[in-house]
Amino acid sequence: MQFAEVYLPTLKSVTATKTYTYSVPSELNDTMKLGQLIEVPFGKKTLPALIKALTNTKPDFATKDVSHIIIDIPLINTKIANTIDKIADYYLSTPHRVSSLFLPKQLLGKTWEPKLNKKTGKIQTSSFIRKLEKVELPPNLTPTNEQAEIIAAITPEIQKKIASSHLILGPTGSGKTEIYLQLIKKLKPGQQALLLVPEISLTPQLAQYFYNHFGTEVCVWHSELNATEKKNAWWSVKNNETRVVIGSRSSLFFAFNDLGLIIIDEEQASAFKQDQNPRYHSRDVAKQFSKEYNCPLVLGTATPSLETYQQTLDQSITLHTLTKRIFDTKPPSIQIVDMKDEFKKGNYSIFSDDLLEAIQTTVASQKQVLLFLNRRGFSSSIQCFECGHIEECQNCDISLTLHNTPNKKFLQCHLCGQFEHIPTKCSKCYSRKIKNIGIGTQQVEKTLQTLIPGVRTLRADKDTTTAKHSFQEIYTSFKNHEADILIGTQMISKGLHLPKVDLVGVILADIGLHVPDFRAGERSFQLLKQVCGRAGRLQDQGQVIIQTLSPTHPVLLSLQDDNLFEFYTKELLLRRQHNFPPTNRITKFTYVHANRDTCLKTARQAEQNLRSMQIKFLGAPALIFRQYNNYHYNILAFTDQPQTIVNKLAMDPGWRIDRDPLDTV
């Protein structure tokens, strides 16, 4: 008698950490294979199940019979099954929830089969590309010496199928994309490559670049694909008709046959971590695949994560450095302006005299300006000058942001999205002396239009890019010089090729610098470094002006010195002193409850237990204690074995467990 050990991809429970076993009826004995999708009884229902393994050993408990086979083509292989178990274990999730990542829900419907092209008999793939706009590409160049050396170093590992890890560290415009392309070209026929990017919609040029070289063998996986397109994409990878997959983190979970190379561009990006159970990091899943498929993993960035940087020091990741920009452009000159000095001069404007003058000069000489402020809206809050009260969201403990555009004026909570009317008096003391405080991108745009009459501006933030394609439209319009100035949040920091941008202005660098999180410095450095990299991309040297209230902050000084290694060395030392990653591993346990007292009581009880287990931890209410009407309490446990905590505490489902969290507040 045969038994099938299965995953139940639709089982949402966060505590079902074991697989299930069913007996195989004799009539199915010869047809059952690992990876098939079958139907099994579960309680009073039936559920779809993925076969993880088949065995002849009778388990020591009673088993029910498999109902029938739904899809007889194996959907996953042993390598994927191993990876499912590893992810579930490491991230304290369940194998069932993890297995669902590998199974697009379109496959669970009646029409799971791919749509074939009538002429070629192949899977219909043309639609993956049609939504890409034609963009002008940088000229094809022969690789520089630096590029050629890196390609030569990694190529043998691709050919010999070695599970090695590499970091390509190079500034914006140093030609990492060309290296990715050349490495993918080294794959043998039948081998597949995966290129992960943080957000495909922000990198239209990259997708186009690969499409130009690989044509329909490229699958660009993005959120705008419809259900049929997603299903076809999945099958075209499974059937080896797609050789190169470019996509966001979910494209890790295609059923690759023979993965020969994995590349993660902008490896430090927070988009690579999933914020729901299973809270995996793409880099770690990719590393696991690299071991399973015996293929190199290549990380690329101008500003690595501290974790990756530490591993280059340990030499578990090989470091390759690109020092030159392709066109031999000099790095931009960086000027730091102390806004306190401006106040002393009596200048209370958003713009320092230097930045305003530089903007005017640049615009007058037919060049373009990029202005960065990582806060959308018009003003970050409304405060009463009589009693000090700040208007807050009724569901969350944060201030409401004022939105003020020609079309609409309203208050909004940037956490839960709640809208409110703009008050005329303080909701606490009814005084009429209420004022907007804190600047957002809308205010920057409006102020510019007043200061420089006739200036053409564009704004890119979450409020202007809600419609499909919108970021790309703004970007294309700016690139065609239909505007002089682009104002934006962090979305303008991504890989834009904008040759006419001569000046980058950072309106207020302090946002993000003082967040009480151990990664605040690292994040700010990475973000500001990327933003600075947008200045002067062709032959000219660019100019960057950073406005701040903390001109001697180490992050800003390292940026100005253009000294990446100095910053990383200091930052590593700080982390070591405080036992934070990458020196130690931490797991964040967050207790969430609608009742404030229950939340605090449960969390404090857990802290008591951790003390008795002699596990080092930090516990505190979340920076925003109440979010969406639920109270949040964080406990950061400094341990390599968070599983022992889960076992011992018999934690209720109100706990969210995040191993290697990206933020701790």
b/e for 576-588, b at 16 or more Cβ within 10 A?
A: eeeebbbbeebbb
Q: Which is nearer to Zn ion, 424 or 612 (CB)?
A: 424
Q: Please report how close the Cβ of residue 108 comes to Zn ion at its closest, in angstroms.
A: 34
Sequence-distant (≥ 6) Cβ neighbours of residue 471 within 8 angstroms: 201, 202, 460, 465, 491
Residue 354 binds Zn ion, judged by CB under 5 A: no
Q: Please report how close the Cβ of residue 467 comes to Zn ion at its closest, in angstroms.
A: 15
Q: Which is nearer to Zn ion, 415 or 557 (CB)?
A: 415
Residue 82 binds Zn ion, judged by CB under 5 A: no
**AA letter at 395:** N
Q: Which is nearer to Zn ion, 8 or 398 (CB)?
A: 398
Give the interface segment with Zn ion, choosing from 145-153, 333-341, 413-421, 597-605 (CB under 5 A): 413-421
Residue 64 binds Zn ion, judged by CB under 5 A: no
**AA letter at 170:** G
Q: Please report how close the Cβ of residue 526 comes to Zn ion at its closest, in angstroms.
A: 24
By CB under 5 A, name the one of 395, 404, 490, 583 that touches Zn ion: 395
Q: Which is nearer to Zn ion, 307 or 386 (CB)?
A: 386
H-helix or E-strand containing 598? Answer: helix 596-612
Residue 622 binds Zn ion, judged by CB under 5 A: no
**AA letter at 374:** N
d(CA 47, CA 52) in angstroms, rounded, equals: 15
Q: Which is nearer to Zn ion, 423 or 551 (CB)?
A: 423
* Cβ proximity of 489 and 460 under 8 Å: yes
d(CA 421, CA 401) in angstroms, rounded, equals: 11
Q: Please report how close the Cβ of residue 445 comes to Zn ion at its closest, in angstroms.
A: 14
Residue 386 binds Zn ion, judged by CB under 5 A: yes
Q: Please report how close the Cβ of residue 426 comes to Zn ion at its closest, in angstroms.
A: 3
Q: Please report how close the Cβ of residue 419 comes to Zn ion at its closest, in angstroms.
A: 10
Residue 413 binds Zn ion, judged by CB under 5 A: yes
Q: Judging by beta carbons within 10 Å of its beta carbon (0-12, 13-18, 19+), is residue 573 exposed, middle or buried? A: exposed
Q: Judging by beta carbons within 10 Å of its beta carbon (0-12, 13-18, 19+), is residue 98 exposed, middle or buried? A: buried
Reduced to 3 states (helix: H, G, I; strand: E, B; else coil), residue 419 is strand
Q: Which is nearer to Zn ion, 188 or 435 (CB)?
A: 435
Residue 135 binds Zn ion, judged by CB under 5 A: no
Q: Which is nearer to Zn ion, 262 or 400 (CB)?
A: 400
Residue count, binding to Zn ion (CB under 5 A)? 17
Give the interface segment with Zn ion, choosing from 21-29, 359-367, 393-401, 578-586 (CB under 5 A): 393-401
By CB under 5 A, name the one of 80, 220, 384, 458 that touches Zn ion: 384
* Cβ proximity of 631 and 602 under 8 Å: no
By CB under 5 A, name the one of 153, 162, 313, 387 that touches Zn ion: 387
Residue 491 binds Zn ion, judged by CB under 5 A: no
By CB under 5 A, name the one of 412, 464, 602, 664 that touches Zn ion: 412
Give the interface segment with Zn ion, choosing from 38-46, 187-195, 361-369, 410-418 (CB under 5 A): 410-418
Give the interface segment with Zn ion, choosing from 390-398, 449-457, 483-491, 505-513 (CB under 5 A): 390-398
Q: Which is nearer to Zn ion, 177 or 381 (CB)?
A: 381
Sequence-distant (≥ 6) Cβ neighbours of residue 569 within 8 angstroms: none
Q: Which is nearer to Zn ion, 102 or 631 (CB)?
A: 631
Q: Which is nearer to Zn ion, 428 or 648 (CB)?
A: 428
Residue 393 binds Zn ion, judged by CB under 5 A: yes
Residues between 414 and 453 with contacts to Zn ion, criterion CB under 5 A: 415-416, 418, 426, 428-429, 431
Q: Which is nearer to Zn ion, 137 or 387 (CB)?
A: 387
Reduced to 3 states (helix: H, G, I; strand: E, B; else coil), residue 131 is coil
Q: Please report how close the Cβ of residue 382 comes to Zn ion at its closest, in angstroms.
A: 10
Residues between 185 and 244 with contacts to Zn ion, criterion CB under 5 A: none
SS percent in the chain: helix, strand, coil, step 5 = 35, 25, 45
Q: Which is nearer to Zn ion, 166 or 376 (CB)?
A: 376
Q: Closest Cα partner for 485 from 653, 358, 347? A: 358
Residue 389 binds Zn ion, judged by CB under 5 A: yes
The phi and psi torsions of 374 (rounded to 5 degrees) equal -85, 50
Residue 377 binds Zn ion, judged by CB under 5 A: yes
Output the six-digit token pair for 346: 């009596």
**AA letter at 297:** L
Give the interface segment with Zn ion, choosing from 79-87, 214-222, 234-242, 409-417 (CB under 5 A): 409-417
Give the interface segment with Zn ion, choosing from 175-183, 370-378, 453-461, 479-487 (CB under 5 A): 370-378
Q: Which is nearer to Zn ion, 83 or 379 (CB)?
A: 379
The phi and psi torsions of 399 (rounded to 5 degrees) equal -75, 155
d(CA 48, CA 503) in angstroms, rounded, equals: 56
Q: Which is nearer to Zn ion, 177 or 399 (CB)?
A: 399
The DSSP string of 341-395 is HHHHHT--SSS-HHHHHHHHHHHHTT-EEEEE-S--SSEEEEEETTT--B-B-SS
Residue 396 binds Zn ion, judged by CB under 5 A: yes
Sequence-distant (≥ 6) Cβ neighbours of residue 664 within 8 angstroms: 517, 518, 519, 586, 588, 634, 636
Q: Closest Cα partner for 546 from 536, 563, 559, 530? A: 559
**AA letter at 510:** D
d(CA 128, CA 288) in angstroms, rounded, equals: 28
d(CA 458, CA 369) in angstroms, rounded, equals: 11
Give the interface segment with Zn ion, choosing from 96-104, 392-400, 523-531, 580-588 (CB under 5 A): 392-400
Residue 397 binds Zn ion, judged by CB under 5 A: no
Residues at the contact surface with Zn ion, assessed by CB under 5 A:
377, 384, 386-387, 389, 393, 395-396, 412-413, 415-416, 418, 426, 428-429, 431
